[in-house]
Structure 1
Amino acid sequence: MYPDHTPHVPAQRAVEVHQPTPLPPVVAAPAPVVAVQPGSVPAVASIVLPDGRVVTGYAINHTQPEPVAVKPVVSRTAVNVALGGVGFLAVCGGLILLTSFIAALTAFITQLIILAAVIFGGWIAVQIFSASGHQSGTTVNIRKAVIKRNHFHS
């Protein structure tokens, strides 16, 4: 409601209809003919429309799709993976040989140490238990030793 207590009624607009004006056909003067080499300018094509008009323009050559590159039977990725696997196996084989070599070298060094201990121990035993007449050092002869009350008296 408006202050004058009249209901609001929207104003109606007049509908205007516009009709397109047809254009009269244009008769163009023929273009002058100029001698041109056939390979430099594309061919001109003319089309007659159903109402009698003629449309002239250059012929459009359809673009040829680019030839699809021939894919190899086996992809490069598959070849790289296979070569990587072969290289990995070669490395693993080398690592197994390396660990075998290290184990054999450790056993050899252990045997050399044991052999040296046996030979050195035998040499010491021979030195201690030999009955040779040549002795070096001080000889102490104990005679008439008397042991009283856990004391040694000479």
Structure 2
Amino acid sequence: MNEPTAYRLPVGHDTAAVEVHRPAPITPAHTVPLVPVQPGSSPAVASIVLPDGRVVTGYAIEPAKPEPVAAKPLVSRTAVNIALGGIGFGAVCGGLVLLTTFIAALAALIHQLIILAAVIFGGWIAVQIFGASGRSGGNTFHIRKAVIKRNHFHG
């Protein structure tokens, strides 16, 4: 009895009648928009008689006036920007040339200082090594022929 059906409701289960309510749309009232008109500024009504005798009455429509064309500059903005970029690049290149010259001069100065230090330090060492040997105040050792017997020095 409680077996599911295609509608997934158990057999013998009574369903209530379903009522569907659909609201009716409200039609809006068509109103004409009011345009404020200054007295004396309303356009004149023109009437035209057609060749077949009909009379057409209406307001005169002024033709649309084209907007004034802006005067083109003599030189385009792109050309001006390219020219200004070239001037700026030229100014920077001059500075870069000076910068590279300064770096090369600084490297040469450091190189010369290293060579000068090597010459001075090398000269000081040479004087220390090959200097006058007749100085006093040092210990003098005279080496004689010695005999070593059983780990004992006899001099």
Q: TM-score, normalised on structure 1?
A: 0.63
CA RMSD between the two structures? 2.5
Identity across the alignment (%): 76
Match of 1:104 in 2: 105
Q: CA distance change for structure 1 residues 125 and 135 in 2, over 3 Å: closer, same or farther?
A: farther
Distance in 2, matches of 1:41 and 1:138, equals: 132
Counterpart check, 1:65 vs 2:66: yes
Distance in 2, matches of 1:107 and 1:49, equals: 102
Match of 2:82 in 1: 81
Counterpart check, 1:50 vs 2:39: no
Give the 5 Å matches for 1:1-154.
37-38=39-40, 40-131=41-132, 133-135=134-136, 137-143=138-144
Show CA shifts across 1:71-108 (max 9, x none): 11011111111111111222222222211111110010
Partner amino acid, structure 2, of 1:142: I
Larger radius of gyration: 1
Quote how far apart the aligned CAs of 1:132 are.
Answer: 5.8
Partner amino acid, structure 1, of 2:97: I
Q: CA distance change for structure 1 residues 93 and 135 in 2, over 3 Å: closer, same or farther?
A: farther
Show CA shifts across 1:33-83 (max 9, x none): xxx943x10122111100111111100111110000111101111111111
Q: Which runs of 5+ in 1 are unaligned?
A: 1-35, 146-153
Aligned length: 112
Give the secondary structure class of the aligned counterpart of 2:84.
helix
Partner amino acid, structure 2, of 1:87: G
Quote how far apart the aligned CAs of 1:119 are.
Answer: 0.9
Quote how far apart the aligned CAs of 1:143 are.
Answer: 3.9
Match of 1:30 in 2: none
Give the secondary structure class of the aligned counterpart of 1:74.
coil
